[in-house]
Chains A and B, each alone.
Chain A
Amino acid sequence: MSAHAHPTVKTFFAVWITLLILTAVTVGVATLDLGPFNAVVALAIATTKALLVLLFFMELRYSSAMTKMVVVAALFFLCLLVGLTLSDYMTRGWSSYVNPFR
């Protein structure tokens, strides 16, 4: 099991710098008015950062397939929680809200 590769200190610093840059970028973008895309961009950046942390700092990239599956499963059930709850909230006003989204 210990045969697999490990990230090096260099990787850690590279990831760290990237994370800091992305933080700066996301703060910067927040000052622009992109309409609904502010949220999209911010969350896309957050997800990139999260992935970096997961894959390199938490070494998910170098972990077993089982561990990866565990993470995917967690996200899947999280989506179920959010998605099915929204299935109620988003259809509640179907008679009234002609356009529930903006």
Chain B
Amino acid sequence: MTVPLRLSVRHTSSADEAGLPFQIALAVPSDLGLVEQVVDLVARHSLAAGLPPRRVRFHLRTALAEALANAMRYGNRLDQARKVSVRVEFAVEAIHLHVADEGDGFDPARVPDPTAPDRIGADGGRGLFLIRSLVDGLEFNQKGNALCMTLRRT
């Protein structure tokens, strides 16, 4: 006789599921071929942590892919020996995606708006703009080699 695996159907415990903050961490070699895998991994665990599928499928995946690519390319200059550190904090109300590289950082305030009329047709320059558009909060460290993207759970 086998009992189907049913996890967390009902709780009578002292705090509910979302009330247990935890974090996921990984260190990723600077290989652009790994971006998709890291995004998949974080997306899968975000779904397991109860984030709404659309937030994960669109906002989280796109913003995280951008942040990883920038950290690998501009921060770590695709040097595979340099790692991108990814830490995802699952808090009660939101998740915080921390992405840090081993580079010199930059000043995000100096990145121009890619939707300005003379830039719409440019080949690049949309990464940071997309991150800003898709997340609910974005913070950089002083140096500019680490960012934290906040996505509300709802």
Partners in one complex: no
Question: Which of B's residues lie within 8 Å of A, judged by CB?
Answer: none
Question: Which of A's residues lie within 8 Å of B, judged by CB?
Answer: none
